[in-house]
Copies of this chain bind each other. A is one copy, B any other.
Amino acid sequence: MDKNFYDKKTEIFKALANPMRLQIIDLLLNGEKCVCEIVKELNYEQSHISKGLVKLKSVHLIKDRKDGLNVYYSLNCDCMKDFFNCLNGII
């Protein structure tokens, strides 16, 4: 079944609508990080972090790059920082 425009956009916002995943995005705003670094910085289970990364990647908000045992994740678009700053004004 083919998803339409608003359904796809909804998936992106669903991916962002979670405290842990927002923290991941905030970390990646400072540049590429491997999973182990993210796990060290955030207080969540490794398996949970991994699922969060899968979800963010599934909507193309982030991309990954493998290097030996490690997988490095980074942001896939540069508009996040501005929008997040704007939302901070609302909060």
> A residues engaging B (CB < 8 A)?
5-10, 12-14, 16-19, 22-23, 59-61, 76-79, 82-84, 86-87, 89-91
Task: Please give the distance in Å from A25's CB to the nearest CB on chain B.
Answer: 10
Q: How far is the CA of A87 from the CA of B9 in the complex (A)?
A: 7
Q: Which residue of B lies closest to A79 (CB)?
A: B86
Q: Nearest chain B CB to A57's CB is how many angstroms away?
A: 12
Copies assembled: 2
Q: A63 to nearest B CB, angstroms? A: 11
Compute how far the CA of A23 lies from the CA of B27 in the bound complex, rounded to whole angstroms: 30
Assess the B19–A17 pair: CB atoms within 8 A.
no
Are B91 and A76 in contact, CB atoms less than 8 angstroms apart? no
